[in-house]
Amino acid sequence: MANVVVVGSQWGDEGKGKIVDWLSERADVVVRYQGGHNAGHTLVIDGVSYKLSLLPSGVVRGKLSVIGNGVVVDPHHFVSEVARLREQGVTISPQCLRIADNATLILSLHRDLDAIREGSNSGLKIGTTRRGIGPAYEDKVGRRAIRVVDLANPAGLDEKIERLLGHHNALRRGMGLEEISAGTLRQELMAVAGDILPYMDRTWALLEEKRRSGARILFEGAQGALLDIDHGTYPFVTSSNTVAGQAAAGAGLGPGTIDYVLGITKAYTTRVGEGPFPAEQDNEVGQFLGERGREIGVVTGRNRRCGWFDAVLVRQSVVTSGMNGIALTKLDVLDGMEKIKVCTGYDLQGTRIDYLPAAMEAQSEVKPIYETLEGWQHTTAGARSWADLPAEAVKYVRRIEELIGCPAAMLSTSPERLDTILVHDPFQD
């Protein structure tokens, strides 16, 4: 049995929630390995919608769920998300949910800094969720973060708080903000310690134990590969590695643990926030896709920017994440369109290129080169087999496979989990 990594192949919002839920029913363990509560997705189970942003999707199915060391954890959000799911009848306890003891905590000072930077009239607007994700990762890399395990040793907190505030209070003074006292921060940490510590575990050891016993592990990625801090549209990216390789580091297991990488891929392209978007359609096409696809961010509530499918970007994500197959989602949104365009290359100052340049200036200058395909008038919504799809829709899927160099393992034709065409089961790789 294979262990599977699920990763978005675009800028996030590809429909990972449904696919992860579909796979989590077949998995024994579900692991979140990067990001924080800035990555929202919705599960629809028996007509009930569950909105998750920090907890692994497996909790809704009662599977052992792990928040890995690569995740930054807002303890206050953790408490509120657990409470909200419990109100919906979901059983959550340390028996089914664990948090890595070496995971970094997001604190109020991180949220403050994130909001101030994003709201500044000067500097670069990234379009963050203002939830403190970036500043928390900065402190992690700067070796001054406070981690989950630190809550278990109150006597040792003072030195760690002093080191953290030595950095943040200097920033706050420079921005004309009131400094934070050590006592205030200590109180904030102690207020949530009792809610977090029962879930703390050496998750790397737990996952290795499960792996050796033959358990099927599903590694659940957040955001998308194009938001990766190294391989995305820098600097308009998130603050962690979102490519599939991070699953190993962010869970505490070796890369040999990963058997199959499934790239969740929307049948068109969307993006939330700032940054380059070569195939964006700021016109009636984009409006059509946004309305039909209900393209509103789960976490941000912002309308997503919409455009044609960009094979250049997805092909690059296939390489950087080593994708074995894709799950193509929201094919039904394209129903009724007479013509459908696909971006097959870029024009950069008169030269055709087949990749996204690394330079920010070049990313903003590339012009899409399109191929036009025939649309279809019959619905694909609810299709559960190839035979249910119009011939033109099948041709569209096949052409995407050719352009990105990766086969479709699954097709999703509605938010309902059963409306899925299974070509290859990743767990049977």
**What distance in Å separates the CA atoms of residue 10 and residue 309, rounded to the nearest whole number?**
10
Residue of 21, 37, 41, 419 marked active site: 41
DSSP for 326-362, written as a single string:
EEEE-GGGGTT-SEEEEEEEEEETTEEESS--SSHHH
Q: Assess whether 231 carries a catalytic annotation.
A: no
- Which tokens hold the place of 185? 């921060």
**Sequence letter at residue 316:** Q
Q: Assess whether 13 carries a catalytic annotation.
A: yes
SS3 276: coil
Instruction: Using CB atoms within 10 Å of the CB of residue 142, give its burial: 0 to 12 exposed, 13 to 18 middle, 19+ buried.
Output: exposed
Please list the helix, strand and coil fractions of the chain in percent, rounded to the nearest 5, in that order.
Answer: 40, 20, 40
CB 167 within 8 A of CB 144: yes
**What distance in Å separates the CA atoms of residue 268 and residue 18, rounded to the nearest whole number?**
17
**What distance in Å separates the CA atoms of residue 329 and residue 194, rounded to the nearest whole number?**
40
Tell me the β-bridge partners of 73: 105
**What distance in Å separates the CA atoms of residue 289 and residue 344, rounded to the nearest whole number?**
20
Listed in order, strand segments (DSSP E) in 12-76 are 29-32, 41-45, 48-52, 64-67, 72-73
**What distance in Å separates the CA atoms of residue 233 and residue 226, rounded to the nearest whole number?**
6
Contacts of 18 (CB under 8 A, 6+ apart): 43, 44, 329, 412, 415, 416, 417
SS3 232: coil
CB 9 within 8 A of CB 314: yes
CB 227 within 8 A of CB 180: no
Q: Which helix (H) or strand (E) holds 205?
A: helix 203-212
Residue of 13, 101, 112, 228 marked active site: 13
Catalytic residue positions, numbered: 13, 41
